[in-house]
A and B are shown apart, each in its own frame.
Chain A
Amino acid sequence: MIRLSIPLRQVLARLSLPIMIAFAFGVMLLGKADTLLVERMRSTLSDALAPIYAAISQPVNAVEEAVAEIRGLATLRSDNARLREENERLRRWHAAALGLESENALLRRQLGFMPEGAPNFHAARVVADGGGTYARAVLLSIPPQHGIRKGQVALDERGFVGRVTEVGSRSARVLLATDMNSRVPVTLEGSRARAVMAGTNGARPRLAHWPEGVIPQEGERVVTSAQANAFPAGLPVGVVRRNAQGSLEVELFARLDHLEMVRLFDFGLSGILPPEAVARPEPRASRR
């Protein structure tokens, strides 16, 4: 150890606090001047400490899990009671549904109602977004021998996506419901009022032309309407939302921002088609 005289030591001891405070201000200036250096030092320190934290996080996690487990056990009783009550209620609904089903079958038999056959469809993979004449359209890859026609309806696993506007030998283009050129006749499920869903190129199409005296409710379900014979009735489209400006929009069920697969349904409809095809849609290839 270095041996210093006692007065020198005393002076050093007395000066060390002011010197350290001066150093602290120096460090402060350094931190303000060279942010990059400070960041690098900080990350070096965290790298060095990471194994320690990893090691202590295991028992901490174990304790947290145990606490969560105990809490879960404590609420087990009330959960059980709640689930039993819910089960009871659902059972009643189940019975009601069975009753309604049989009643429905009976009424159908009496009316001579002809059920619609399940529409046939092709699933196709989305290979490109945008492009072409429209701002919101997707390109589908389809096999060469296909039965896809203009005007077919595209749905994803959640709801309405758009309509086929161009068909090539190996590809087809679908105009999405959000495109500015898209107009879809819809029905508001609560009030059964008809309206038009008009695309705006934004994420949510606008709702327009609902009849006087009907106010679309926030959260009301919107389904397609059979008006104009372009779509079958009742395909799920979305729910009504009021935007910040107070106008009504439709939040689509379909996830148009990341489409991967769509199903193209052939409902055998020959309603309004895009202008160049107004003349006459070609007949369906195979009719049941």
Chain B
Amino acid sequence: MARALSIVGIGALLPVVGLSFWEIAARAQWTQSQILVPPSAVFATIVEFWQSGELLSDIVASTCRVLIGFLLGGSLGFVFGITAGLDRRVEAIFAPTFHVLRQIPVIAWLPLLVLLAGFGEGFKILTISIAAFFPIGLNTLDGVKNVSSKYIEVGRALCFSRRQIIARIIWPAALPAIMNGARLSLSRSWMLVVAAELVASTTGIGHRMDWGRQLFQIDVVFMGVLVTGCMGLLIDVAVRGLARRASRWTEQA
């Protein structure tokens, strides 16, 4: 325990020293203070935006977009991965196109989506859906396809029906890969919601950062960096926890 605390202490050393130096540098006006605001000012800004409720509404707006987009795109990717992974004909028809399209960074679709769907909510949800679709689609497809034929043969030897083989062998064997895909999908979604809000939005964390940038309020921009980082971390930890529960058996060795 003491050892763990000392490790945390050492880990905190760098940020504490760095931030103190930054604070001193900013207060002593070694640089243009307009650009490099002191951490205390960033903290004050966070408190101010939190108390006014603006920060919370930004977080809620972005998170809602991520969740809706993730559910839409993620479930579509999941369905694609499962059906193409189980059925060769489906794979033969859809997979080549899928593999070509996934080479294109989702961010490159932004302008096209703006042109086709306008600047409204639809464009953001669409962007996030696309971002969520590919990682989970790819990982589900690979996960289902790569289930060892040895395990499937066990199912055959035990006279499992096709349904039982899918539910009792393919599904648990592919689940770790699928969860990993979901994790990637969520982190991509989070990255793209910020991008979409930077491009065109009146709400959300990305919009708040863009607003801060245009007004040269770097404290607001840093608040955005902190909040996006924390949200990203939160989502990652949550999904990792779920993934670990789903794949307890892989780490017992």
- Do these two chains interact? no
Please give the residue numbers on chain B whose beta carbons come within 8 Å of chain A beta carbons, in ascending order: none
